Amino acid sequence: MTDPASTYQQTIMREAIRTRHSERVRFDPRHPVEEAQLNAIIEAARWAPTAHNMQNFEIIVVDDPTMLAALGRVHAGTSKEFLRENYAQLSFSEDELIRKGTGLLSTMFPPSWQDPDAIAEEAADFEHGFLDATMRSCPLVMIVVFDTRQRAPASEGDFLGVMSLGCVMQNMWLTATSLGIGMQIMSVFSAEHVEEDLRKILSIPHYLSIAFACRLGYPSVRADRYLRVRRDVGRFSHRNSYG
């Protein structure tokens, strides 16, 4: 006999998987993430599968307004390479995006990001930006770091270790989604020039490197709906042989 509680939990998890998304709007700084919810997200990270159960990660939670302001003053910037590679992943109509089944709609980004001829000028402007523009008034930032002196056994380039960090991210994100908390990964935090400044502010030892950072909170405005696509199962799954 099926356990109703178990079925309900499976439904909730499936819904979290399908509705998880990057929350790009500003968060309400007056609406903090409750301690119990924060602990639930950290607990989810704790139980993430990691290669050889190495658990090679540490989590730095930043929610003090003074510390958040200090992070926001760090010089950031978006490289020309990022803008060009981002442009290559864009679709310029919903029909095109549906047909591809991958990537993002161009309207989710500034107009200049949709014009390859304007990319160099846009990158020059972004080089003088600050992390505050990425954090967007969030009440809490979580930074996940890992020990560069360790690696998963027989894993060239610590590929299995990187996979493990991805599992940590996924557990955190799905838990945040199930709790109704907005989350967005901020990849710029791991850029070399940004990491050095953050290392000083947060007293991060030299042997720890930033894997990823995320902003969490509650949207201050209703986010615009945007088309999310995935490939049909038949386009990427294979049985007994490839193709």
CATH (domain of 29): 3.40.109.10
88, 103, 128 - which closes a domain:
128
Confidence (pTM)? 0.88
Q: In this structure, are 61 and 155 located in the same domain?
A: yes
What confidence score (pLDDT) does residue 1 get? 62
Q: In this structure, are 179 and 197 located in the same domain?
A: yes
List the one residue out of 13, 29, 1 whose CA is nearest residue 216: 29
Q: In this structure, are 141 and 199 located in the same domain?
A: yes
What confidence score (pLDDT) does residue 119 get? 66
pLDDT tens-digit series, residues 177-209 = 999 999 999 999 999 989 999 999 999 999 999
Q: In this structure, are 206 and 136 located in the same domain?
A: yes
Would residue 203 count as lying in a domain? yes
Residue 231 and residue 101 in contact, taking contact as beta carbons nearer than 8 Å: yes
What confidence score (pLDDT) does residue 101 get? 95
Q: In this structure, are 25 and 112 located in the same domain?
A: no
Would residue 204 count as lying in a domain? yes
Domains in the chain, number: 2
Q: In this structure, are 201 and 181 located in the same domain?
A: yes
Domain region containing 111: 78-128
For the chain, residues with pLDDT lower than 70 are: 1-2, 5, 8, 119-128
Would residue 9 count as lying in a domain? no
Q: In this structure, are 113 and 149 located in the same domain?
A: no
Q: In this structure, are 53 and 83 located in the same domain?
A: no
Would residue 117 count as lying in a domain? yes
pLDDT tens-digit series, residues 199-239 = 999 999 999 999 999 999 999 988 777 889 999 999 999 99
Q: In this structure, are 140 and 219 located in the same domain?
A: yes
Would residue 40 count as lying in a domain? yes
Q: In this structure, are 118 and 184 located in the same domain?
A: no
Q: In this structure, are 109 and 48 located in the same domain?
A: no
What confidence score (pLDDT) does residue 242 get? 95
Q: In this structure, are 101 and 22 located in the same domain?
A: no
What lies within 8 Å, CB to CB, of 35 at 6+ separation is none
Percentage of residues in the chain with pLDDT exceeding 70? Answer: 94
Residue 101 and residue 177 in contact, taking contact as beta carbons nearer than 8 Å: no
Would residue 4 count as lying in a domain? no
Burial of 213 per CB tally in 10 Å (0-12, 13-18, 19+): buried
How far are the Cα atoms of 18, 68, 87, 93, 216 from residue 96, in angstroms, in the given order? 21, 39, 14, 5, 31
What confidence score (pLDDT) does residue 197 get? 97
